[in-house]
Each structure stands twice: as structure tokens, then as C-alpha cells.
């Protein structure tokens, strides 16, 4: 681990007006963790707003406290005392980055192992399954706030998202204990799962069909990949959860050790997501292209057209599998580690989804 929750708590007590933000392509962990923390700060009498660097899909609407969240707009300059950046380092906060570098005090909470920690106070635990696990500990053990049903709902959504609905190898006994405590405080697992995973419009299900038509697999079956073009997306909003929903398909093929999703952002800009298993280090591949993340979930953004980026990544991925894939077995996919209280440091540019 890097930093301490004690120092984070001291910084929280020192300020009265907060902005909470998270990474681009928001997912259930960053939004759920952020809203739970927002409600906890309000319980302490703090003034708090949440600002998302990217639009939120309407499937986030069920999360308590979402009414206190707005989407970033150019020229935004809120009158706050400090900013809490959670589930990422500040460089992943899109249009908010200049504001975060303007001298405003920053508090950083994250579980990505490539994050070195930023700001006046920080806590990075790469062994936490989700930032929601860290925020649960912060609220219940350090802030002196009683957990409410609304906080529990947000944190359960956070844990569910980053553990693949408690299927990934980062689903430790600690995670299951916390999930049980959240349910005991009023979180409804069935309702949360239905909102997150069984509430899609036809257009989104149709996108899955289009993307599956692009599914390819390497000759030896160890690598599978899909492609999402701008034409497929049209005017649809993207979210980090959609990354998970799509990349799971090549990953579920029995022989695949490394799943890749290519997403065309612009004519000369491509987002690449990696999910792996069997001890294949996806973050090593992502770092080759300026990205980062976890061992089993990582990503990068490449300033190249889709076909060129695709060729570069597939060549590097094949080399990685040839070097590391022979005879390995064991670990399964996940977005974090098993357990807590250990950590490594992070480089800027982490682009997990």
C-alpha cells in the first residue's frame, strides 16, 4: 500500500467544501465509491458535489446520491476547498485535469497498483478488489460515520462491478465479508444486479451483436479480440461498464489467455483494453503503449488509426504470450488482487478500461 487512510481522514477533516471525481469511461466502482463517499461527507456536514469527466449512462440513475452529480463542462471552476480523486490518478480525469493541476488540494484514493499516489493525502491499495473496498474501510473505520442503506447500495454496486459480480479471483474472503455487511445494512443484491446487468435498451444489445461479428482468435487459440468502430457506436454514450460487457466474450473462450478490445475513439486515436488469466500480465502489455492497470485487467490509448494500432498491439501481444505463456497455470481474471494492505507504485497514463 502507498500512503495512509489516517492521513486521508485528517485531510478530509481539514476542509469543508469538496468536489469528488473519477476517471473517464466511468464504471460502477468509481461512481458507486464516489457517491458513497459523497453521502458520508454530507453526514459530516460537508458541502459536496460529484463531477464526472464523462457522461453517465442512465443505468447509473438508481444509485443514491446521483442527483448531486453533474457532468463536466468547459469553463467549470467550482468554489471548493479540496478535490477527492478516486479510482484513478488525476491524469485520467479528462477535462478536469487542468483544474486538478491549478493548485487545488487533491486527495487521492485508488486501488490501481500503478498509481504512486498524488496530492496532499493519498491511499493506494493495489490488493483491494475495488476502490469501493477502500471507501468502505474509510467510512466505517476512520470517518466515524454510520453506514446507511444508501451508502451500502453504492458500495455494493462498486464491489459487484470490479469483481465481475463476485466471479473474479479478486473476490477474497474480505470482499465477501464486506458484501455481507453491505447487505445487512440494506443493500439489495438482486435489485442492484438487475439495474446493472439486466436493464439494457435494445440498441445496446444490438451493439453486442455487431461487435461479436468482429470476434477473432489467434491460430493457437490463446488470444481473442473484438473491435468497436465509431460507426458502430453512432451517437451512443460509452461507459466503463460497456467495456466489461463486451470484452468478456473473447475472454470466456476456453483456450483464451488474453482478451483484447480495440475501440476507435477518433480517426487517429484507439483505445485498447486487455483482460487476461493464467498468470499472463496484461499490465506489462499495456505499459508498452503508455498505459497500465492490474495484472489481469489493463489498458492503454494509442495515437494511431485503428488498423495500425491493432497491428502493433497484436504483434506485441503474440510476443508476450510466446515469452510468458508457455507452461503457466493458476491465476484467474480479475481487476485487483486477493486481499489487502500491500501495494506497488503507479505510472501516469493508467487507462484500465
- Average pLDDT of span 219-245: 82
pLDDT tens digits, one per residue of 273-293? 999 998 899 999 999 999 888
Looking at the structure, tell me whether residues 55 and 161 fall in a common domain: yes
Report the sign of the C-alpha dihedral through residues 148, 150, 153, 158, in that order: negative
The CATH number of whichever domain residue 268 belongs to comes to 3.10.310.30
In 3D, which of 66, 82, 67, 68 has the Cα closest to residue 32?
Answer: 66
pTM for this predicted structure: 0.84
Range of the domain at 207: 202-324
- Average pLDDT of span 334-353: 37
Domain count, the chain: 2
User: Which among 166, 182, 197 is the end of a domain?
Assistant: 197
3-state SS assignment for residue 211: helix
pLDDT of residue 352: 54
Residue 177 is assigned to a structural domain of this protein? yes
pLDDT of residue 341: 30
Judged against a pLDDT cut of 80, whether residue 266 lies above it is answered with yes
- Average pLDDT of span 83-94: 94
User: Which among 153, 168, 197 is the end of a domain?
Assistant: 197
User: Which among 178, 197, 216 is the end of a domain?
Assistant: 197
pLDDT of residue 257: 96
- Average pLDDT of span 208-229: 96
- What CA–CA distance (Å, rounded) separates 169 from 127? 11
Mean pLDDT of all residues belonging to the chain: 89
Judged against a pLDDT cut of 70, whether residue 330 lies above it is answered with no
In 3D, which of 233, 53, 240 has the Cα closest to residue 161?
Answer: 240
Judged against a pLDDT cut of 70, whether residue 61 lies above it is answered with yes
Residue 235 is assigned to a structural domain of this protein? yes
pLDDT tens digits, one per residue of 289-312? 998 888 888 899 999 999 999 999
Looking at the structure, tell me whether residues 24 and 168 fall in a common domain: yes
Looking at the structure, tell me whether residues 237 and 186 fall in a common domain: no
Q: What is the dihedral of CA 192, 194, 196, 200, to 10 degrees?
A: -160
Looking at the structure, tell me whether residues 181 and 246 fall in a common domain: no
Residue 290 is assigned to a structural domain of this protein? yes
Looking at the structure, tell me whether residues 144 and 236 fall in a common domain: no
The CATH number of whichever domain residue 76 belongs to comes to 3.90.1640.10
- What CA–CA distance (Å, rounded) separates 135 from 138? 5
Residue 341 is assigned to a structural domain of this protein? no
pLDDT of residue 57: 78
- Average pLDDT of span 229-249: 77
- What CA–CA distance (Å, rounded) separates 46 from 132? 20
Looking at the structure, tell me whether residues 207 and 189 fall in a common domain: no
pLDDT of residue 338: 36
- Average pLDDT of span 39-52: 97
Looking at the structure, tell me whether residues 256 and 171 fall in a common domain: no
pLDDT of residue 113: 83
Residue 347 is assigned to a structural domain of this protein? no
Amino acid at each position: 500500500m502507498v500512503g495512509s487512510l489516517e492521513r486521508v481522514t485528517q485531510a478530509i477533516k481539514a476542509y469543508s467544501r469538496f468536489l469528488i471525481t473519477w476517471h473517464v469511461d466511468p464504471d460502477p466502482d468509481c461512481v458507486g465509491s464516489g457517491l458513497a463517499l459523497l453521502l458520508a461527507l454530507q453526514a459530516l456536514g460537508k458541502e459536496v458535489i460529484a463531477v464526472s469527466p464523462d457522461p453517465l449512462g442512465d443505468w447509473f440513475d438508481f444509485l443514491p446520491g446521483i442527483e448531486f452529480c453533474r457532468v463536466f463542462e468547459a469553463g467549470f471552476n467550482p468554489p471548493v476547498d479540496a478535490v477527492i480523486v478516486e479510482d484513478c490518478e488525476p491524469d485520467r480525469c479528462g477535462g478536469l485535469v487542468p483544474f486538478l493541476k491549478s493548485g487545488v488540494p487533491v486527495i487521492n484514493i485508488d486501488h490501481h497498483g500503478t498509481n504512486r499516489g498524488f496530492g496532499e493525502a493519498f491511499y493506494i491499495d493495489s490488493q483491494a478488489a475495488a476502490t469501493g473496498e477502500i471507501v468502505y474501510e474509510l467510512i466505517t473505520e476512520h470517518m466515524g460515520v454510520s453506514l446507511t442503506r444508501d451508502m451500502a447500495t453504492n458500495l455494493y454496486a462498486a464491489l459487484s462491478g470490479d469483481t465481475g459480480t463476485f466471479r473474479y479471483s479478486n473476490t477474497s474472503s474480505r470482499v465477501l465479508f464486506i458484501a455481507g455487511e453491505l447487505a445487512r445494512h440494506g443493500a439489495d443484491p438482486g435489485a442492484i444486479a438487475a439495474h446493472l446487468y439486466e436493464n439494457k435498451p435494445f440498441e445496446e444489445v444490438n451493439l453486442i451483436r455487431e461487435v461479436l461479428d468482429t470476434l477473432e482468435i489467434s491460430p493457437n487459440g490463446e488470444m481473442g479480440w473484438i473491435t468497436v468502430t465509431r460507426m458502430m457506436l453512432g451517437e451512443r454514450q460509452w461507459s466503463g461498464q460497456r467495456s466489461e460487457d463486451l470484452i468478456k466474450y473473447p475472454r470466456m473462450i476456453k483456450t483464451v489467455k488474453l482478451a483484447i478490445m480495440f475501440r476507435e475513439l477518433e480517426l487517429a486515436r484507439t483505445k485498447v483494453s486487455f483482460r487476461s488469466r493464467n498468470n499472463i500480465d496484461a499490465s506489462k502489455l499495456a505499459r508498452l503503449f503508455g498505459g497500465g492497470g492490474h495484472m489481469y485487467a489493463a489498458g492503454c490509448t494509442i495515437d494511431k488509426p485503428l488498423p495500425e494500432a491493432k497491428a502493433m498491439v497484436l504483434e506485441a501481444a503474440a510476443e508476450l504470450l510466446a515469452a510468458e505463456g508457455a507452461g503457466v497455470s493458476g491465476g484467474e481474471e480479475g481487476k485487483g488482487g486477493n486481499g489487502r494492505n500491500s501495494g506497488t507504485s503507479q505510472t501516469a497514463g493508467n487507462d484500465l478500461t
